[in-house]
Amino acid sequence: MNQEFVFHWIAHYGYIGLFTAQVLGIVGIPLPDELLMTFAGFLVSKGELRYWVTLLVAFLGSIVGMSFSYLVGHRFGLPLLEKHGRKISITPEKLEKAEQWFRRFGKLTVTLGYFIPGVRHFTALSAGISKWPYPAFLLYAFPGGLLWVLTFVTLGVFLQDHWLTFSKALHKYLWLAAILAATAAIIGWRIRRFVCKQKAR
């Protein structure tokens, strides 16, 4: 989908446009998710949107989109998605990529996956296919969605007229930042676990 059309959509329809774009982007429609949130932050800097309302609307859109994808995976499972998923850009290769992230980082993949283009659209599907309890899924989806939205909307507010140039450059390195963050989190958790065991002894 043409990004200029999406920017015009948000500028024209405001919060409703932002919510709709967030839902569709998470479900898997090819939308520039980070760019559209940074653009929303830019509109906040111009006084056309309100900061806290924009954060809430973008966050709710991301959670609705993730929940829809989770329910699709939970309801229809892997066989049906492998058979018919290509019609809506859900390929076995992309699902396998999400599974690789799950094997590497566990449930943190749902949280960190928001920041990884090409992965976030499939983490919820994979969680549904794996039959996670929905409350457990939300436990990991909520902080990731909140941090994701907060990061890019706030960037748009501070960058103002420079939002587009900076966002495009940042988008290229999101996957690397997510890997580093996940690795640091796992190392920290293991160190803490080791220290706790030593204290228990």
Is a pLDDT exceeding 90 seen at residue 64? Answer: yes
Over residues 21-25, the mean pLDDT reads: 85
**Model pTM score:** 0.73
Q: How far apart are CA 140 and CA 143, in angstroms?
A: 6
Domain holding 159, by residue range, is 3-200
Does residue 110 contact residue 140 with C-beta atoms inside 8 Å?
yes
Sequence letter at residue 134: Y
Q: Count the domains in the chain.
A: 1
In this structure, how many other beta carbons lie within 10 angstroms of the beta carbon of residue 125?
27
The residue written with tokens 């939300």 in the block is: 138
**Higher pLDDT residue, 198 or 107?**
107
Structure confidence by residue, pLDDT tens digits, 151-176: 888 888 887 776 666 666 665 555 55
The answer for residues whose C-beta is within 8 angstroms of residue 103's C-beta and 6 or more apart is none
> Mean pLDDT in the chain?
75
Q: How far apart are CA 61 and CA 55, in angstroms?
A: 10
Structure confidence by residue, pLDDT tens digits, 75-85: 876 666 666 55
In this structure, how many other beta carbons lie within 10 angstroms of the beta carbon of residue 26?
25
